[in-house]
Structure 1
Amino acid sequence: MDEVVIVPWQELAADTLDNLLQEFVTRDGTDYGEQEISTATKVEQVRRQLTKGQSLLVFDSATETVTVMTREQFDQHQRHPG
């Protein structure tokens, strides 16, 4: 069974967080709608979501990756893992 653990993003070095967010927003399959948005803008949008507590930085032990989940996605995963 995979485990998803919240990563305390506030404790990461600024450049590490920037790199993680940039990797996240440039992943294949990340959909931001029809309008083209710059990578820097996408990173700032996700950073704002983290700051407001709307999204969480999480580590997935099954895939050994770090990703961003909305609070709702995280709660759903906790109720129905796997």
Structure 2
Amino acid sequence: MIIPLSEIAPETLQNLVEAFVLQEGTDYGEMEYDLEQKVNHVMIQLKSGQAFVQYSELHESVNIVSKDQIEN
């Protein structure tokens, strides 16, 4: 189930995005990004509809998923 951003408290969304970014692991690209930059990048994706906050009833968990993951 997709959770609309408007239904998530700003502090909760910030914490969710930070947790998501921190679980992503090591950067393998040419540029290193700090936590704030990574969080901002994910926030932009969420606000633009390229990523979504998804709740899994089966796993009773919340995750951030890309638009491509939803469509497949």
TM-score normalised by length of structure 2: 0.84
Which residue matches 2:12?
16
| Structure 1 segments unaligned to the other structure (5+ residues) | 77-82
If asked which structure has higher relative contact order (CA below 8 Å, sep 6+), I would say 1
Q: Percent identity?
A: 30
How much is the aligned-residue C-alpha RMSD, in angstroms? 1.6
Q: Which runs of 4+ in 1 moved over 4 A?
A: 29-32
Number of equivalences: 71
TM-score normalised by length of structure 1: 0.75
The answer to whether 1:33 aligns with 2:33 is: no
- Report the residue type matching 1:7 in the other structure: I
> Structure 2: how far apart are the matches of 1:53 and 1:23?
20
Which residue matches 1:64?
60
> Structure 1: how far apart are the matches of 2:66 and 2:36?
20
| Structure 2 segments unaligned to the other structure (5+ residues) | none
